[in-house]
Amino acid sequence: MTNLSNQDMDQLDVALSSCLRIMKQPIYWEKFTKLANTTIDRPSATILAILSKGPYQFHELVNRLGVEAPSVSRKVHQLEDQGLVLRKSTSDKRVHELYLSTQGRTLADKLCTARHRLLAEITSTWTARQQKELIESLEHFSHDLKLLFDLNHKK
C-alpha cells in the first residue's frame, strides 16, 4: 500500500499527465527533430530507436510498439523504401529479421544524440543527485507499471 495522501496522489497524477501531454505536443517534436536535423515522424523514429538495439522479428516489433500489425507493416515498408531498414531471412525462411541499414544506424544515432541533448537541456538546472533520483524513480515506476499490466508477457 502507499504512504501518499489523496492530495499527493492527485499531484503525482497531474505531474505524470502533464509530462505525457507536453511530450506529445507538436512543438516538443519540432524541437526534437530540429536538434536531430531531420524531419522524421514519431512512429518512424520510434521504430529506428527500437531497431538500434538489435534486430527484431516483425512480431517482436509489433509487440514492443503495442500497435496493430498493419500500421507497423506500412511504416516498416516506408522505412525500407527510404533505405533505413533492411530485412534478413532467418533459418526459418518464413521469418525475417528487421535491422538498420548504415543510413538507418546513422539517423538512429542522430536521434539518440538529440534525445540526450533535449533531456540535458530540460534537467540542466538540476543537481546530479536530482537527475539520478529521477532516473531511479522512473525505472522503478516503469518496472512496476509493466508488472501491473503484464507488459513483459510475450503473446
Given a cut of 50, whether residue 125 has pLDDT beyond it is: yes
Q: What average pLDDT does this structure show over 19-37? A: 95
Q: What average pLDDT does this structure show over 128-155? A: 86
**pTM reported for the whole predicted model:** 0.85
Is 93 inside any structural domain? yes
C-alpha to C-alpha distance for 65 and 101, rounded to whole angstroms: 20
CATH of the domain at 64: 1.10.10.10
Tell me what the pLDDT averaged over the chain comes to. Answer: 92
Q: What average pLDDT does this structure show over 109-126? A: 96
Given a cut of 70, whether residue 107 has pLDDT beyond it is: yes
Is 136 inside any structural domain? no
Given a cut of 80, whether residue 19 has pLDDT beyond it is: yes
CB atoms < 10 A from the CB of 97, how many? 17
Total count of domains within the chain: 1
Domain extent at residue 95: 44-122
Is 77 inside any structural domain? yes
C-alpha to C-alpha distance for 155 and 151, rounded to whole angstroms: 10
Given a cut of 80, whether residue 137 has pLDDT beyond it is: yes
Is 142 inside any structural domain? no
Is 13 inside any structural domain? no
Given a cut of 60, whether residue 91 has pLDDT beyond it is: yes
Residue 57 neighbours by CB under 8 Å, 6+ apart: 90, 95, 96, 97, 98
The owner of cell 538507418 is 104
